[in-house]
Structure 1
Amino acid sequence: MGHGSFGVVFRGKLDVAVKIFREAVEKKSIETEITNLLRVQHENIIRLYGVSKETDAYYLVMECAQNGTLHDCLHTKKIPFSESDRQNLMLQCAKGMEYLHNLKPVILHRDLKPKNILLTNDYTMLKICDFGIAREKGTSMTVGIGTAKYCAPEVHQTSSYTEKSDVFGFGMVLWEVMSGRVPTGLMSKMPDLDKVIHCNSPDTMKILIQQSCDEDPNMRPPMKTLALLLSFDHVSQAKLIKPNSMDFKK
């Protein structure tokens, strides 16, 4: 079916996905993904049903997302998502990320991108996946991990990862979904907001993307705020929260 950061994914006979980690893969990454997935239970995060270990491999039995990655749906299959479809998918993504950031301790995904987002139920349900490099906030982390185009500037500068680093990645995904384009260049940067055309309220959506992708982490809204704003039928109906609001500091 595909592959993640460290494992290959096959479809099982009982409509499950089986992710296989070979012995050559870093053991810590395997155990990290298992530990993280065992902690989470949310409709917008891929479920882990069980784990089997053999001499040379781990087998993770997981929820099957039949429609593949968001990246493939946008750029290979070119599914004709409506404006409301796109906003609803990103609302689900925001809710999944908000859940991770509300856990105690917080789980930082650190590699949010369309290739790590799956779709199911005829392209209407979104599932965040691939937790191989996710970490609990406050634990030791290797700097520079993630996909360069979606990484926050502070990550490239070897600073510590925070929830706001995930918010930057979310902003890049939001831009990609609303523009239908793939980010260009080798490093992350503020995307071209003029390409935001696949939404009911492009001007307001541009502000959400601009705030999420701000170079200053303190100026980025938390996932809770983004989920709230995306929950409106038309984003223009939402009252945008200014960066000096207390909600930006959470």
Structure 2
Amino acid sequence: MAAIINPKYIIGKKELLGEGSYGKVYTVELKVAIKELKSSEAEKIKSFEAEATNLLRAQHPNIIRLYGISGKHTLVMEYADNTLDKYIHNEENKITELHRQNLMLQCAEGVAYLHSLTPLTLHRDLKPANILLTNDNCTLKICDFGTAREIRTEMTAEKGTAVYRAPEINETMKYTEKCDVYSFALILWEVMSGKKPFADQIKEVIAIAYQTSVKNLRPNLDDVQFCVNKEIMKDLIEQGWDKKPYMRPSMKMPYYLALIIPR
């Protein structure tokens, strides 16, 4: 369990790292990240408290660590230097194929861990911006658990980010942990192609849900190039973003993780 931290012990100048839909993330002295709630709306408070609860439950090398809670709505978390989104889309970074695959193996292991919890936990908003990198971009940490839910709780529509959102969520259907598998497949394609999903296919963001759900549009698999075995990687991605959730592999299945191991 995380410690309750008195606000007076958080000292030094705060530097804004980023801002999401319901909170701001700062870094302070001692290289920790401070996430403060910026809204008094009931839904935002609920998401903030859900993140704290889920981070307390999740103890894994590839899940961002919660050090403690300061005040009523401030989380003190592990500090990360970078995001996967910024790292893979920075042309100055010369990222090897093996490193890309290793990062995605870490991501798969983190998601598999969430799905192994009792009760099973869905992240529901997996995307490169919610995946952090530490240790000189060698260690991957999944973060932002404000939309995460236990499988036994009520499912709600339109959770997550449109580009990475599974079709069954767009269609307000009942969904399972396979929605995270879909998001993972999109991220896997992005890392192995170096491109943003649908950037060259869809002009309006509002059209993404329709195109992916109704028209079954997916990014071009031929763009996958930064990997050791392209055909295996393409097959893995294609399985992961299948329209039918039950056709997607489980993150917990050993062969699914083994396919990403550099070879």
Q: Which deviates more, 141-150 or 209-218?
A: 141-150
Q: 1:138 is paired with a residue of what secondary structure? A: coil
8 Å Cα contact 1:171-1:209 kept in structure 2: yes
3-state DSSP of counterpart to 1:140 = coil
CA separation in 1, counterparts of 2:193 and 2:52? 34
Alignment-derived partner of residue 192 in structure 1: 220
Per mean C-alpha deviation after superposition, the further-off stretch among 78-87 and 94-103 is 78-87
1:213 alignment partner in structure 2? 241
* Partner Cα separation in structure 2 for residue 60 and residue 114 of structure 1: 21
Cα RMSD for the two superposed structures: 1.3
Q: Which of 76, 80, 83 pairs up with 1:65?
A: 80
Q: Which runs of 5+ in 2 are unaligned?
A: 1-16
Do the aligned residues in 1 keep the contact of 2:116 with 2:252 (CA within 8 Å)?
no
Taking the TM superposition and a 5 Å limit, the aligned residue runs for 1:1-250 are 1-25=17-41, 26-54=44-72, 58-66=73-81, 68-76=82-90, 78-184=92-198, 185=202, 186=205, 187=208, 188=212, 189-225=217-253, 226-231=256-261, 233-234=262-263
CA distance in 2, matches of 1:217, 1:202: 24
- Gaps in structure 1 of 5+ consecutive residues: 235-250
Q: What is the CA-CA distance between 1:227 and the residue it aligns to? A: 1.7
Give how far 1:37 is off. Answer: 0.5
CA contact (8 A) 1:165 1:217 kept: yes
Letter aligned with residue 38 of structure 1:
L
- CA apart distance, 1:78: 4.6
Which stretch shifts more, 147-156 or 1-10?
1-10
Structure 1 residues 25-69: Cα deviation after superposition (integer angstroms, max 9, x where no partner): 521111101110000100000000101224xxx110000011x21
Compared with structure 1, are the counterparts of its residues 157 and 88 closer, same or farther at alpha carbon in structure 2 (3 Å cutoff)?
same
Per-residue CA deviations over 1:119-156 (Å, capped at 9, x if unaligned) read 01111100000000110002013211111111111111
Give the TM-score taking structure 1 as reference length. Answer: 0.88
Give the CA deviation at 1:163: 1.0
Q: How many equivalent residue pairs?
A: 229
Q: For residues 155-209 of structure 1, give each alpha carbon's deviation from its aligned partner in whole angstroms, at most 9, with x where no partner exists.
A: 1110123111100000000000000000123324322000000001111100000
Instruction: Report the TM-score when normalising by structure 2.
Output: 0.84
SS at match of 2:74: strand
Q: CA deviation at 1:111?
A: 0.5
2:152 partner letter: G
Letter in 2 for 1:51: I
Offset at residue 77 of structure 1 (A): 6.0
- Measure, in 2, the Cα distance between the counterparts of 1:34 and 1:77: 35
Q: For residue 218 of structure 1, what is the amino acid of its counterpart?
A: Y
